[in-house]
């Protein structure tokens, strides 16, 4: 499936470089299958979600000559760790627990993590999350164990509409473009995420104030 279909060897799956995600906003229906698959695969406790689906909507309603005119929009964004090029979580970690593998993905070395939560507070995407049951931070590592055996990340496999893909970020950008700053995501220049988004037809830029998140308690 996707850009990695013909890259089925386990050695390629872990030895490639600078992996990231591609997300097609036009195809996402907001079913949250990716979120559930991630939570189930990693057996995450209540309150810890490495992948989240954000519901974003907004617009305006005006009246002219007694008639209402509506200009509204709504779309979904599936988001997890973006394994950023300028990973601020790594910069603020006082113990070097937040580390980068040879394939470019960022992970938590639990043997070094003291659960200070600096990475959580610094990350603009809210990717690192504190696991109180284990006493340290946790986050998406792009399913390193699955990739080690030639499988795809759980979220990618679970998506029924094929809105998610993964691969070397340079390949993803060459195929799908370079857009990575769609609202409600933050300014991509902060961390340079390894993420490519195919925008929804009504997608708003990251600095737009035209919409709001409809499911804040879920994310």
The CATH number covering residue 178 comes to 3.30.70.20
**89 vs 83: CA distance, rounded Å:** 10
DSSP states along 36-96? HHHHHHTTPPTT--SSEEEEEEEEEEEEETTEEEEEEEEEEEEE-----TT-HHHHH-TTS
Closest CA to 20 of 142, 134, 135, 116: 142
Say what the pTM is.
0.89
For residue 14, being part of any structural domain is answered with: no
More confident residue, 64 or 172: 172
Q: In the prediction, which pLDDT does 16 show?
A: 60
Element (H, E) at 164: strand 164-168
For residue 3, being part of any structural domain is answered with: no
pLDDT at 6 over 60: no
Percent of residues, the chain, with pLDDT higher than 70: 93
pLDDT at 1 over 50: no
For residue 23, being part of any structural domain is answered with: yes
End-to-end CA distance of the chain: 28
How confident is the prediction for the chain on average, in pLDDT? Answer: 92
Give the residue numbers spanning the domain of 101.
19-218
Q: In the prediction, which pLDDT does 69 show?
A: 79
For residue 5, being part of any structural domain is answered with: no
For residue 105, being part of any structural domain is answered with: yes
For residue 4, being part of any structural domain is answered with: no
- Total number of domains constituting the chain: 1
pLDDT digits (tens, 9 = 90+) for 94-132: 999 999 999 999 999 999 999 999 999 999 999 999 999
CB 191 within 8 A of CB 87: yes
């Amino acid at each position: 499936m996707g850009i990695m279909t013909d890259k089925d060897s386990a050695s390629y799956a872990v030895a490639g470089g600078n992996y990231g995600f591609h997300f097609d906003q036009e195809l996402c229906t907001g079913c949250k299958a990716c979120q559930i698959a991630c939570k189930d695969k990693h057996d995450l406790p209540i309150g810890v979600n490495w992948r989240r689906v954000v519901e974003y909507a907004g617009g305006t309603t005006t009246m002219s000559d007694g008639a209402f005119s509506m200009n509204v929009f709504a779309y979904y964004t599936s988001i997890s760790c973006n394994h950023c090029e300028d990973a601020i979580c790594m910069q603020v970690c006082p113990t070097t627990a937040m580390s980068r593998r040879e394939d470019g993905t960022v992970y938590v070395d639990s043997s070094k993590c003291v659960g200070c939560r600096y990475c959580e507070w610094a990350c603009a995407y809210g990717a690192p999350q504190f696991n109180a049951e284990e006493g340290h931070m946790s986050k998406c590592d792009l399913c390193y164990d699955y990739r080690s055996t030639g499988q795809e990340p759980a979220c990618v496999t679970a998506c029924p509409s094929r809105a998610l893909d993964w691969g070397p970020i340079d390949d993803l950008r060459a195929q799908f473009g370079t857009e990575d700053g769609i609202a409600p995501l933050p300014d991509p220049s902060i961390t340079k995420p390894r993420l490519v988004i195919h925008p929804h037809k009504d997608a708003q830029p990251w600095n737009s104030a035209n919409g709001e998140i409809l499911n804040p308690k879920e994310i």
